[in-house]
């Protein structure tokens, strides 16, 4: 406006009793308080981003309301309410961030505790499975007193041979636990056959051979990795590399590695242990027999690995000295 127009407006305002008035201080203070808490209260119902966007909308609403009030002769505070909106919005964002951080930290701690409990429970269940497997295997073993610590030695021999082959540690450990159940099916074989001191008749031998399939059926349909491996071992540890074994006549690599390993260890322990029908063989003679069956009864690679660990394994498990066996590598 030109200077004269400004002066005219000023004179008009003075003649009309100065119509612009400040609103009551209590109203301004209430307005500041309301705008301070508006965004934090909205956060209760809204997510962080929508609640934060309400801050600028409230500021725009304040400006529009102040203009309307001014047009009607009332002057309201602007700086303090706008600052209240800004501080309320910033405070809400910071508080939400700190709250979510604390929640994440608490959830992470709860998850760690839960995972620790799950691991502990899983280990407890595995120990229970292994104990049950051991006890069932011993139940079958006790029917044949001549076997003595056979299942314990079988588990350790199988684990040592698996280590010599370079299998991972968790696989060798599982194999050692599963190997103890290799003769589980003998629990179903009649005593007149199982404990017979002399050679078996052809019919008795057929009956005895049923223990492989029986043991596998006893251990079957389990979700446990140990039980599944024990089932495989029980069924296949009497298969032969040349296909002349039982119960399925598997040949060569068709025989699962666990069955091949346990089959070799089972024969070795039987040779060097006392039975009702035989005296224990000297180690040299037993290893000569193992070497002679390379490529026939046993996987050649397994025979080579076993002969390398035979001496320390025999001293450890049987407590006797050894000499190096004669090996026919051409077999």
Which active-site residues does the annotation give? 186
Q: What are phi and psi of 21, to 5 degrees?
A: -135, 145
Name the DSSP letter for residue 23.
P
Measure the CA–CA gap between 126 and 253, rounded to whole angstroms.
30
Measure the CA–CA gap between 41 and 88, rounded to whole angstroms.
10
Measure the CA–CA gap between 214 and 235, rounded to whole angstroms.
8
CB atoms within 10 A of CB 194: 19
Residues in CB range of 304: below 8 A, 6 or more apart: 294, 327, 329
Measure the CA–CA gap between 61 and 63, rounded to whole angstroms.
5
HSE-CB of 40 using CA atoms within 13 angstroms: 16
Nearest to 317 by CA among 325, 308, 309: 309
Measure the CA–CA gap between 60 and 54, rounded to whole angstroms.
10
Name the DSSP letter for residue 21.
E
HSE-CB of 75 using CA atoms within 13 angstroms: 6
H-type helices in the chain, by residue range? 3-15, 25-45, 48-71, 79-142, 150-164, 169-178, 191-194, 202-219, 225-236, 257-272, 283-292, 300-318
- Between the alpha carbon of residue 28 and those of residues 31, 83, 91, the distances in Å are 5, 13, 21
């Amino acid at each position: 406006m030109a200077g004269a127009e400004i002066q005219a407006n000023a004179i008009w305002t003075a003649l009309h009793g100065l119509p612009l008035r400040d609103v009551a201080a209590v109203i301004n203070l209430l307005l500041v308080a309301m705008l301070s808490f508006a965004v934090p209260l909205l956060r209760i119902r809204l997510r962080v981003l929508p609640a934060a966007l309400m801050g600028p909308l409230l500021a725009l609403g304040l400006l529009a309301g102040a203009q309307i009030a001014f047009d009607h002769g009332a002057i309201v505070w602007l700086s303090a309410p706008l600052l209240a909106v800004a501080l309320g919005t910033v405070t809400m964002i910071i508080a939400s961030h700190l709250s979510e951080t604390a929640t994440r930290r608490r959830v992470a701690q709860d998850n760690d505790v839960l995972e620790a409990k799950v691991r502990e429970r899983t280990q407890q269940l595995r120990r229970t499975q292994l104990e049950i497997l051991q006890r069932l295997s011993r139940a079958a073993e006790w029917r044949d007193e001549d076997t003595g610590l056979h299942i314990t030695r079988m588990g350790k021999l199988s684990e040592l041979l698996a280590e010599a082959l370079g299998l991972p540690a968790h696989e060798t450990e599982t194999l050692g636990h599963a190997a103890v159940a290799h003769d589980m099916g003998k629990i179903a074989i009649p005593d007149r056959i199982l404990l017979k001191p002399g050679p078996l008749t052809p019919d008795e031998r057929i009956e005895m051979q049923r223990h492989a399939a029986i043991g596998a059926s006893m251990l079957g349909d389990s979700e446990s990795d140990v039980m599944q491996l024990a089932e495989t071992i029980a069924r296949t540890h009497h298969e032969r590399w040349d296909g002349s074994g039982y119960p399925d006549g598997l040949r060569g690599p068709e025989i699962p590695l666990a069955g091949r390993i346990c089959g070799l260890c089972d024969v070795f322990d039987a040779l060097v242990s006392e039975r009702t029908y035989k005296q224990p063989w000297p180690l040299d003679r037993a290893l000569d027999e193992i070497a002679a069956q390379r490529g026939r009864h046993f996987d050649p690679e397994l025979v080579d690995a076993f002969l390398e660990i035979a001496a320390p394994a025999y001293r450890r498990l049987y407590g006797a000295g050894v000499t190096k066996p004669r090996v026919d590598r051409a077999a």
